[in-house]
Structure 1
Amino acid sequence: MKRNVKKLNKSTKEQKVVILDTDFLMHSIDNKLNFIEEIRNLIEGPIRICVVKSTLKELQKISRNKSWKYSRTARLVLDLLKAEKIEVLDDDFINEKSTDKKIAILAKKMSGIVATDDKEFRRKLLKEDIGVIFIRQKKKLILVG
């Protein structure tokens, strides 16, 4: 009996990791941007869309403490992450307080891309040779690096 075995080549084995930060998530929801679909269209091949644990903590804090608009947006983001089963990366082992630094360290370690709408963070990532996805004109994703 003949078996249909799919051979894995390098491009199908390697998944590109995309780590989403709080700014990117909040702005995506505010702009009604389907960022998951847009990221999949932007990057060829298999991808893993993730958030770090610290980003979830930031979103939970915003959902409880900020103005109504921000808390509502943060709750929508949390609901979407749960519904889409977005992978959560553990970052507790990284000895940094800053979520941005934790994201940068993980992205570098995993040869990943960071989705952020924070211009200063974007500059730092590009200096570290880490790819960046950001929102342009409130409706389009751009990949640089």
Structure 2
Amino acid sequence: MIRTLLLLAVLALGTAPALAVQPDEVLDDPSLEARARTLSAEVRCLVCQNQSIDDSNAELARDLRLLVRERLVAGDSNEEVLDYLVARYGPFVLLEPPKTESTLILWYGPAVLLGLGAIAVVVTLARRRKSAAPTPLTPEERRRLDALLDEGDDGTGRTA
């Protein structure tokens, strides 16, 4: 039982996100360090692209973490630090890019495409349903069919 609990504890700790912040990067002031961690979680690693600089072990991520800490120590606000990074590296440096005219398609494009796809499916199914219903025979077609059926009937219910 104890072995099982220890194994579960090791597995749970092993699946926690590994932070790449090195001990020599940590600031002495706990409030500044907390701000640095918050900002680092919002900044994209330009090498990994799918991780924040707080989670990345890349050298560029380390440089960006140090830059964030330098700006905080210099007295910049969180917004000023992010503005500095965006001015230097572009809006791609943020894990959640701002909603601007140039990024509207990125933000709303998938929802629009999904909506258009749903409309196309509904229209296609409605057309199939309409075309799948048999149309009744015209009086002329009915007479012709009856004539053909009478022609092949030998009176026993079997066709000749």
Q: Which has the higher helix share?
A: 2
TM-score, normalised to structure 1, is: 0.26
Larger strand fraction of residues: 1
The structure number with the bigger radius of gyration is 2
**Larger relative contact order (CA 8 Å, sep ≥ 6):** 1
Q: TM-score, normalised by structure 2?
A: 0.24
